[in-house]
Amino acid sequence: MTADQPVSRERESSEEVLSAVPFGLRVAAAVSWRALVIAGALTVVGFLAVKLASVVVPVAVALLLAGLFSPAVSLLTRKKVPRGLATAIVLVVGIALAGGVVTFVVIAVTAGMPGLIDQVTVSVTDLHTWLRAGPLHLSQGQLDEMLGNLTAMLGRNKSVIASGALTTAVTVGELLAEFVLVVFCLIFFLAQGRVIWVFVLRAVPARLRDRVDVAGRSGFTTLAHYIRGTAAVAFVDAAGIGLGLVIIGVPLAAPLSTLVFLGAFVPVIGSVIAGAVAVLVALVTKGALSAVIVLAVVVGVMQLESHVLQPLLLGRAVRLHPLAVVLALAAGLVVAGIVGALLAVPLLAVFSSGVRSLTARPDPD
């Protein structure tokens, strides 16, 4: 008996055991352990992202803004402007525009708030009259009891309200720190984005470097198209709804239009919530008929967005199924709230574009 015989017998025995296992079960087991490895890796990445959210979120926002501002920097660079100076010009103009919009909104709110308070006071008086003389026929004692219950509830929650105010103050401080980090990262992404990407590629094995490079560039291109298209859609939404509010005479039209613009960056639900706020303000200040007209304007603008603007501006660049968008949005809301909803869809678009690029067949030599 040779030394190879025990080895061959063991091999034959293992093959017999393997053949006894149904083929479907073997495939399921192979897929399952690979799926578990991928799920474990994603869990670790998600855990680290949540723990380092104060760093990850500013970097992600800076990438979004880099996709928005990079065409302007590239245009100035083609005009023989040094890239560092072009980055500085674009950032200064962008911050100036954002500051101007914030200042305009604050002035509009300050100017319109007295009139809004007067109209709300009239609406409350009308509501009080309707509760007493309307179908409910509530007595003054019942109304006083309702008001007393509301006052008592606020009194019981004073500590909660105070802690919420303190939390808000802390949050403002954190937001300022994260804003500084966003600007800092954005400067380097615009000025040295290619150098940073080449440095990151060094961590990839040499045989895969070219394909990863193509996938990364494809993902960033998708991100840039997404943020620019979303900004254009948001501008049209804000302009359309804002014009309707001005024509109807709803107060605080400018702040509400700004809210619509910001809400459009959260797919599906952002514009709906902002439009609902506009309808509520119209109902409180101008009555039911004006609220119905504002609702019609909001629905019309949303239809224009979903059937014309998004397919035209985003359809070719961001190829995502509506179900994937809704699921990504829901997952983002559960994991990170509003910030997660803001970042979930663009991250999914980048991931999808990168995977399509990596799995595409290489061009023949």
Q: Are 290 and 248 in contact (CB under 8 A)?
A: yes
Task: Please tell me the predicted confidence (pLDDT) of residue 296.
Answer: 92
Instruction: Record the tokens describing residue 257, joined without a space.
Output: 């239009």
Compute the distance between CA of residue 207 and CA of residue 257 in angstroms, rounded to an integer: 51
Please choose, from the candidates 122, 44, 79, the residue with its C-alpha nearest in 3D space to the C-alpha of residue 286.
122
Using CA atoms, how far residue 15 sits from 1, 12, 47, in Å, is: 21, 5, 41
Compute the distance between CA of residue 212 and CA of residue 218 in angstroms, rounded to an integer: 10
Please choose, from the candidates 243, 358, 269, 331, the residue with its C-alpha nearest in 3D space to the C-alpha of residue 46.
331
CA 338 to chain centre: 7
Question: What's the CA angle centered on 296, arms 292 and 298, to 5 degrees?
Answer: 115
pTM value > 0.95:
no
DSSP 321: -
pLDDT per residue, tens digit, the chain (365 aa), is 454 555 565 565 566 656 666 777 778 888 888 889 988 988 888 788 778 878 888 888 888 889 889 888 988 998 888 988 999 999 999 888 888 877 877 777 777 667 666 666 666 666 666 666 666 566 666 666 666 666 666 565 555 544 554 454 446 667 788 888 888 999 999 988 888 988 888 888 888 888 888 888 888 888 888 888 888 888 888 899 989 988 988 888 888 888 888 888 887 778 888 888 888 888 878 878 888 999 999 889 888 887 777 777 666 666 777 777 778 888 887 777 777 777 888 888 888 888 777 776 555 44
Compute the distance between CA of residue 67 and CA of residue 62 in angstroms, rounded to an integer: 9
